[in-house]
Amino acid sequence: MSPNPPVAKRSRMGRFFRTALGFWSGATRLRAWLLTGTVLLFAAAQIATAVAVNGWNRLFFDALEKRDVAAVWSAVGWLPLLVVASALTLSSLVVSRMLLQARWREYLTDRLAGWWIADQRYYRMQFTATEQTAPEFRIAEDVRLSVEPLVEFAIGLISAAVTAATFAAILWHVAGSARFTIGGTELVIPSYMALAAIVYAIIASFAAYFAGRPLVGRISAKNEAEAQFRAEMTRLRENAESIALIRGDADERLSVRENYRRVLSAWFGVIRQQGVVALVLNTNGALFPIVPLLLIAPKYLSGEVTLGAVMQVVAAFSAVQAALIWFVDNFVRLAEWFASVARVDELQEAMEALDVGTIMEGETQIALTESEDGAIHLENLSVAHSNGRVVIADASVVINLGEKVLVVGESGTGKSTLIRALAGLWPWGSGSIAVPRGKSIAFVPQKPYLPIGTLRTVALYPEAEKPVADEVVVAALKRCGLAYMAKRLDETERWDQILSGGERQRMAFARLLIQRPDIIIMDEATSALDEDSQDSLLRLFDQELAHATLISVGHRPGLEDYHERKITLEKRLAGAHLTSRRLGKSLWRLFRQHKAANDTAT
């Protein structure tokens, strides 16, 4: 799933909305417009009930002023209906709003998560966008913080506009004009209460804007510091055993404290600025109920308006004022929302850069093609780091169908990087890699990934939905030394925490037996096994998996006995040089094969 617009310097808001508003134009548009219409309907109903309550206030207080008991009880009789209508419309608005938020978040999360996971972007971003910390948090949390408040803001703005217009009309009608005599000249200010509400709102809004403008950057810095702190804690948990074994507690404690100090510093910046914003908001809160009373009091004292009209005007002024200072009341939330939008857009920008190409202008990249003869071809292949330093220089080799090849070399010669290039995960370099068309490829890393789920799911991964008979799975587990696990196929556990390193590697070989791929690429895939277990599993490539092309990286003794050719990477200043030589079957390997055959027959 990739976006349409190319990478460019664009507005954060513009790019975000281009992605997010697809909810109303794509496959989800029917649901989106139905939910939107429902929300707007209940928002209108809520405003209508507010107008009805405002009218009831006048009737009730006029009846009180006249001491008209019948009119008071008549007004009270309408109160339950107004309360029920208000409660129902507000509740319905909340429910429909939350449904719209949930569905919109579902759409955006699915789009961004699918985009991030597809084509190994989640892997490649760690090399091309190192500044994009915790992309998973941006998808899980910042998407929520950019969508949920936005729905509330939209409803609030629409309601504010309609409320302001509706209650301004009430002010115009009820309060009338203000008349002043200055120097014998009568001055008339039409609809002075509505004008006063607008002027007051403009002053309060500008004050809040200038007080809170720096808050956006400080909230963004705070969110970034929080994400880095969470990433540090996750790293500690994921490496808990290694840290515990070498007694790294003190260093880790210092690192956590240092990371949290950065969080605290960012928070202090937010707190200071929110203090300034709070001063403006609290000043407005103190003046809010007083201003309309002061403005209408002269008319009440002169007898131009009744007590009911005063209460109606005060309520209407408050409604207009609340609508017009919506920006003031929501400034802090707007700042937090914009910070989350910026973080989501930064993630989009990084993924767009991957789609357009991670290679800078003027640089080359490794070409991935298909071969027609069933062989793997490396032609003039140079593999480099993302900073341009060449690791492997001008390598050319052909690995034939069914051939077993061992790749060796001292540390730093680029063995694992070569594996990444074969997997299509490493674009930096030049030359080409051609793999057979239509052949299935399996990669076996040193530490195989075990998903959460049943043991059957683990054994079949990444084709967990593929129908495979239990007998096939059990037979694979037994062949790979995991017979004692066969009875736990339907158990759901955190298998990555239960199985040891050796058991995880055995599980990876069991997957190979189940899937039977045409090409197998292994990176130190037997490093956690004892020599006898390694021999037992590598015999798979002489027996059950003899048809497969094998490329394995390793340095342990005995590996050569199970390969026909050895490729050696020799470190040089201009990049590792590749040499290749044939391997013969050693007498020791022939002896072990003969012994294994006898053991099987016995």
Residue 350: C-alpha distances to residues 139, 359, 418 (Å): 13, 13, 25
How many Cα atoms sit within 13 Å of 331 on the Cβ side?
A: 25
**Band of residue 11 on the pLDDT scale cut at 50, 70, 90:** low
More confident call, 40 vs 163: 40
* Chain position carrying tokens 């003039």: 380
Tell me the per-residue pLDDT of 101-120, one tens digit each, with 9 for 90 and over. 999 999 998 888 888 887 77
Interatomic CA distance for residues 86 and 92, integer angstroms: 10
Tell me the per-residue pLDDT of 257-277, one tens digit each, with 9 for 90 and over. 888 888 888 888 888 888 887
Residues 220-234: what's their mean pLDDT? 81
Give pLDDT, residue 197: 74
Interatomic CA distance for residues 595 and 588, integer angstroms: 11
More confident call, 468 vs 241: 468
Give pLDDT, residue 37: 92
Tell me the per-residue pLDDT of 465-522, one tens digit each, with 9 for 90 and over. 888 899 999 999 999 999 999 999 999 988 888 899 999 999 999 999 999 999 999 9
Residue 443, helix vs strand vs coil = strand
Residues 539-549: what's their mean pLDDT? 90
Residue 184, helix vs strand vs coil = coil
Residues 558-570: what's their mean pLDDT? 87
Give the list of residues 6+ apart from residue 591 with CB closer than 8 angstroms, or none: none
Question: Considering only 6-20, 455-469, 537-551, which range has the smallest mean pLDDT?
Answer: 6-20
Give pLDDT, residue 7: 39
Residue 161: C-alpha distances to residues 169, 320, 321, 490, 497 (Å): 12, 9, 11, 58, 56
Question: Considering only 249-253, 357-361, 433-437, 469-473, which range has the smallest mean pLDDT?
Answer: 357-361
CA atoms 263, 268, 269, 274: torsion sign: positive
> Strand 549-553 to strand 404-409: parallel, antiparallel, or no bridges (unpaired)?
parallel
**Cβ neighbour number for residue 82 with a 10 Å cutoff:** 16
User: Across-strand partners of 559?
Assistant: none
Q: Does the pLDDT value for residue 362 go beyond 80?
A: no
Give pLDDT, residue 205: 74
Task: Show the CA angle centred on residue 469, arms to residues 468 and 474, nearest 5°.
Answer: 105
Average pLDDT, the chain: 80
Give pLDDT, residue 595: 56
Give pLDDT, residue 360: 47
Domains and CATH numbers, the chain: 12-356 (1.20.1560.10), 367-601 (3.40.50.300)
For residue 230 the two structure tokens come to 């969470």
Residue 449, helix vs strand vs coil = coil
Interatomic CA distance for residues 88 and 46, integer angstroms: 9
Tell me the per-residue pLDDT of 152-194, one tens digit each, with 9 for 90 and over. 888 887 877 777 777 777 767 666 666 655 656 666 666 777 7
**Cβ neighbour number for residue 106 with a 10 Å cutoff:** 15
Angle between helices 331-356 and 192-212 (to 10 degrees): 50
Tell me the per-residue pLDDT of 125-152, one tens digit each, with 9 for 90 and over. 776 665 666 788 788 888 888 888 888 8
Residue 423: C-alpha distances to residues 142, 280, 302, 357, 369 (Å): 32, 58, 87, 17, 12
Question: Considering only 3-17, 394-408, 441-455, which range has the smallest mean pLDDT?
Answer: 3-17
Give pLDDT, residue 472: 93
Interatomic CA distance for residues 268 and 289, integer angstroms: 32
Q: Does the pLDDT value for residue 49 go beyond 80?
A: yes
pTM here is: 0.61
Give pLDDT, residue 274: 80
Residue 69: C-alpha distances to residues 56, 75, 309 (Å): 15, 10, 19
Residues 299-303: what's their mean pLDDT? 73
Residue 480's φ and ψ, nearest 5 degrees, are: -100, 15
Interatomic CA distance for residues 559 and 553, integer angstroms: 9
> Strand 390-399 to strand 185-189: parallel, antiparallel, or no bridges (unpaired)?
unpaired
Residue 512: C-alpha distances to residues 201, 418, 463 (Å): 70, 21, 12
Interatomic CA distance for residues 94 and 39, integer angstroms: 9
138 burial class (0-12, 13-18, 19+ CB within 10 angstroms)?
Answer: buried
More confident call, 583 vs 143: 143
More confident call, 313 vs 232: 232
Give pLDDT, residue 6: 39
**Band of residue 279 on the pLDDT scale cut at 50, 70, 90:** confident
Give pLDDT, residue 10: 47
**Cβ neighbour number for residue 282 with a 10 Å cutoff:** 10
Tell me the per-residue pLDDT of 386-440, one tens digit each, with 9 for 90 and over. 677 888 888 889 999 899 999 998 887 888 888 888 887 787 888 999 998 888 8
For residue 480 the two structure tokens come to 């790979």
How many Cα atoms sit within 13 Å of 112 on the Cβ side?
A: 30
Question: Considering only 38-47, 356-365, 389-398, 553-562, which range has the smallest mean pLDDT?
Answer: 356-365
